[in-house]
Amino acid sequence: MELIQQQAQKQVLSQGLRRSLEILQLPVTELETYLQEAALSNPLLELELPQDARLPDPEQEFTRDLAQRESDVWEVSGSESAAVWDLPAGEVFSGWGGAPEEDLATRLADPHSQGERLSDALAEQLLHMPRLSDPMRQLCLYLIECLNENGFLDFDLADLAREQKVPLFDMEQALYILQDLQPAGVGARSLTECLVLQLARTDHFNPHTLRLVQTDGLELLARGNMAAVAKLLECSPSEAKRAADAVRALNPRPAQGYGSGVAPACQIPEAVFRREDGRVRIELDRRLLCKLSLNEQTCALLCEGTEAERKYLREKKSDAQQLIRSMQERENTMVRLLKAIAERQQGYFLRHEPLEPMTLTQLADSLGLSLSTVSRAVQGKCIQFDGQILPLRRFFVSAITADDGASISSENVRRHIARFVSAEDPEKPLSDEALRAALVAVRLPVSRRTVTKYREEMGIPSSARRRRTP
C-alpha cells in the first residue's frame, strides 16, 4: 500500500447553482411555498404575495356582506348559469363514437378518466359477502393491495402467508375468493391462469380453448396461423376458428379500464398559449408569482450595530441576492423553453396538427443547455391552451421508424388510431390489421405490432370486445 497524490479537474455544483436548479424544478404552487419559507428566515428579503393571495380588506368585506343582507333574493343570470352548469365542448363521451378525434386519444390515455380504482371495486364486492369472516376479509384486502397494475399477483403465496403469519391454506382460500370477484381473471398468477379463469365463466370452456391457452397456441394465434392452430387442437378449421375467437375475446389485463383513483392536483400554468394573427402568442402571468426584493430599511443597518450583527446581515443579503438571481434565471430559462416548444410544435398550436417528434435531448442541444436542466424545467410544469391545462411533457414525442425507414411521430399514429376507432362501425369494428392498413393509406406505414401496442396503451379494447350487436 502507498499514498499517491493526483491532480484532476472535475465539475462541482456550487451552492448557488444547486439552489437555481432546485427553484427551476419547482412548479408555481410549490415555488410560492418555498419563497414564503425563505422570506420568513431572511429579514432582508421582501416578499410581495400574488394579487389572488392577498387578504381582503375587512371594511370592503363588511360593506359587501351588508349589501348581500339587504338583498332578499339572489338571482342567477343566464350567463352565470351557463358558466356554472354547462359542460365545455367535448366533455361528454359516450361509447366509442361521438367524441372529438383530437380529444379522444388524450382522454383514453388519461388514467384518471378511467373511473374508480380496481382495489376499490374489489373491496366493495367483499362488503357484499356477509358470510365472509373478518380475518378472511382482511386477508383478501391484503391480497388486493399486492396486485400489480395489470391485476396479477406476482408474489408467492407461501411468502405472503409467512409475512402475515397465517397458514398457507388460509392464504390460498383468500386467493380463491379474490379470483371469484369481478373482473374475471383478477388475482391470476400468470397469463394462462388469467385466461382460464375467464374461460370458466363463459360458454366456451372446453378442451379446445383450454389447450389453446395452456400450450403454445397463443403464439400461433398471435401470428394468425390458423392451420397450425387446427393441427394443434386436432380439430376442423371451423372448430379451431371458434376456439380462436373465444380466446381473442378474453382480456389479458383484468385491471384494464380502471384508473389510479388519484385526483389530479390543482396546477397553475406557467404560461398561456394563444393563437393571434397566425402566430403563437405566449403570455406569462406574473401576477401569480411572488415578487422578491431587498428590504432597504433593513439593508441600511449594515453600517450600524456590532461586528457580529453586520456579519449576519451581510450573509443574509448575499443569500437574498442569490435567491433573486435564481428567480430571474428560472424565468429566463422557462421563457426560452416555452418559445422553443412553440416554434417546434407550431403546427399543433396553429393548425391542430399532430405533434412533431421532439425529445429532451434535441431541445437541450438547440437551446445550448444541459439535459438535466431541461428535464428539471419540464418536470411538473404545465401550460394553458384552448381552455385546457396541458403538461409540458406532452409536447415531447418520440419518433418511431416506419416500415419504409422514415421517421414519424408516435403522437400522430395515436391520434389516427383514435380517429379510426371513433368512426368505425360498431357492428364491424376494425381489427389491428385493418387499422394498420388504414394507417398505411394515410402515409403512416407501421407494423401491426406497433398498432396493437399503441391501442393497448390508449386503453382501447380489441375489436372483438368493441363489437356491438344491434
Helix (H) or strand (E) holding 304: none
Work out the mean pLDDT of the chain and round it to a whole number.
76
- Is the overall model pTM greater than 0.95, yes or no? no
Report the alpha-carbon distance of residue 174 to residue 132 in Å, rounded.
10
Residue that is written with C-alpha cell 396541458 in the block: 390
How does pLDDT run across 176-229, given as a tens digit for each residue? Answer: 888 888 888 888 888 888 888 888 888 888 888 888 887 777 777 777 778 888
Question: How do the domains of the chain map onto residue ranges?
Answer: 118-248, 272-392, 399-461
Residue 469 has pLDDT above 50, yes or no: yes
Report the alpha-carbon distance of residue 135 to residue 316 in Å, rounded.
Answer: 59
% helix / strand / coil in the chain, to the nearest 5?
55, 10, 35
For residue 64, is pLDDT > 60? no
**168 has pLDDT over 60:** yes
CB-neighbour burial class of residue 206 (10 A; exposed 0-12, middle 13-18, buried 19+): middle
Unique residue bearing C-alpha cell 386467493: 175
The C-alpha cell that represents 306 in the structure block: 456590532
User: Per-residue pLDDT tens for 226-251?
Assistant: 888 888 888 888 888 888 888 888 88
> What is the rounded CA–CA span in Å between residue 440 and residue 202?
37
Give the pLDDT score at 105. Answer: 43
Band (341; pLDDT cuts 50, 70, 90): very high
Confidence label for 116 from pLDDT (cuts 50, 70 and 90): low
